[in-house]
Chain A
Amino acid sequence: MRTLQNLFPKEKFPNLLIGMDDGDDAAVYRLNEHLALIFTLDFFTPIVDNPYNFGSIAAANSMSDVYAMGGDVALALNICGFPKDMDPAVIVQILRGGADKVIEAGGILSGGHTINDDEPKYGLAVVGFIHPKKVLAKQGAKPGDVLLLTKPLGVGIITTALKAGRAHADHVREATESMQLLNKQASIILREAGVHAMTDVTGFALIGHSLEIALHSRVLLRFRAGDLPFLPGAADYAEQWLFPGGTADNRQTYERDVRISEDITEETALLLYTPETSGGLLAAVPKNKLGQVRSRFADAGQSVWVVGEVHEGHGIEIIG
């Protein structure tokens, strides 16, 4: 993408609030002084066996970028690739899973496009709206902020274990429920609490996405390993070294800006580099808003974990 960056400079396109050079997930375009459009897309190959659940996970994941920026979902279009000989009933299930998730988000699914493809693929292109002055980007985290995470980690290694035929059904069920959870409620609560910076945890893993906040905000993000929540099974599969290839890729990309204390096991460290799918929101929130945030999450019946804090400095630190 870096090779394309210079083609669309912000100086030339003053209404482009977030573009390629911002390290953010979606594009944000100002329509007028009260309204900006958030535009994002994502799609992937099946990560669970149940087609309805796959559709619903892919849709939740695609819409997550809108929530990570503090916006609301308005419109979505299906992006599909299906093999010619695929059972139409299975396709219907995938599309229904996605459509139900868009309904839950309060958006409208209004069409899409399908091509023939050897391996099934599904996702959404999504349009959301936000006030142009309320866009939550990755800069803005301040020393003293607390770091909150709204879903446990570990779906990446659990779905990898599933693909390898080594995952326990209970672990897959919990991972599936976690991936299906929309980041909508969490986003609303966090933006109302005056969150300083926010992102969602997906392919670049906890460390990669945190580092984007750290670099753009010019601060140090310090996590306490013992406070990081993991789904049941994640530690077992790490012990069996069932890491996907993306784990090592992420580590190679980010490790020069990361300090991990020596009392943390290599398996735990690698879990923090393991790609997540439809992960939770990671937010830097003023400390005095913590009580309000906790009680709002409890009222909404959703979980939130305090996993670290923001300091002056550079990069990511993981302490025991």
Chain B
Amino acid sequence: MTKTIDARGLSCPQPVIMTRDVIKDAKGGRITVLVDTMTQVYNVSRSAEKLGWTAGHEEKDDQFVITLEK
């Protein structure tokens, strides 16, 4: 099941906090996070990677879609 976190319009560290709150309860799976900037892509991705998730991202219509998997 894919869960989507919409963190658009929020500044750091809010996207990281929202992502980690979801990761904490999920043993594995696929999570999509929507953010506005590359800084947020980096912070969300690195903080998830630290917890054993893999992270990828693509740019779509001036926003970024991060895909986290474990």
A binding-site residues for B, Cβ under 8 Å: 160-161, 164, 166, 240-245, 247-249, 266
A244 contacts B12, C-beta separation under 8 Å: yes
**Closest A residue, CB atoms, query B37:** A245
Contact A241-B50, Cβ < 8 Å, known A160-B13, A164-B17, A166-B17: yes
What is the CA–CA distance of A242 and B43 in the complex, to the nearest angstrom? 9
A58 CB to nearest chain B CB (Å): 21
A242 contacts B46, C-beta separation under 8 Å: no
Asked whether B39 is an interface residue with its Cβ less than 8 Å from the other chain, the reply is yes
* Chain B residues bordering chain A, tally (CB within 8 A): 15
A245 contacts B17, C-beta separation under 8 Å: no
A-B pairs, 4 with minimum CB distance? A241-B47, A248-B39, A245-B12, A242-B13
A262 CB to nearest chain B CB (Å): 17
Q: B12-26, CB under 8 A of A: which get 1 and which 0? A: 111011001000000
Residues of B within 8 A of A240 (CB): 16, 20, 47
Of B11, B20, B47, the residue contacting A245 (CB under 8 A) is: B11
A241 contacts B42, C-beta separation under 8 Å: no
B39 contacts A241, C-beta separation under 8 Å: no
A160 CB to nearest chain B CB (Å): 6
Scoring A242, A249, A266 by chain B CB atoms within 10 A of each residue's CB, the highest score goes to A242
Residues of B within 8 A of A247 (CB): 12
Give residues 18-44 of B contacting A (CB, 8 Å): 20, 37, 39-40, 42-43
**Closest B residue, CB atoms, query A237:** B13
Of B17, B39, B40, the residue contacting A242 (CB under 8 A) is: B17
29 contacts between A and B (CB under 8 A): A160-B13, A161-B13, A164-B14, A166-B17, A240-B16, A240-B20, A240-B47, A241-B16, A241-B20, A241-B43, A241-B47, A241-B50, A242-B13, A242-B17, A243-B12, A243-B13, A243-B16, A243-B43, A244-B12, A244-B13, A245-B12, A245-B37, A245-B40, A248-B12, A248-B39, A248-B42, A248-B43, A249-B39, A266-B46
A241 contacts B14, C-beta separation under 8 Å: no
**Closest B residue, CB atoms, query A160:** B13
Contact A242-B11, Cβ < 8 Å, known A248-B42, A249-B39: no
**Closest A residue, CB atoms, query B38:** A248
A268 CB to nearest chain B CB (Å): 13
What is the CA–CA distance of A243 and B39 in the complex, to the nearest angstrom? 10
What is the CA–CA distance of A156 and B42 in the complex, to the nearest angstrom? 19
Residues of B within 8 A of A241 (CB): 13, 16, 20, 43, 46-47, 50
Known: A164-B17, A245-B11. 13 other contacts (CB 8 A): A160-B12, A164-B13, A240-B47, A241-B16, A241-B46, A241-B47, A241-B50, A243-B12, A244-B11, A244-B12, A245-B37, A245-B40, A266-B46
What is the CA–CA distance of A198 and B50 in the complex, to the nearest angstrom? 37
Residues of B within 8 A of A160 (CB): 12-13
A255 CB to nearest chain B CB (Å): 13
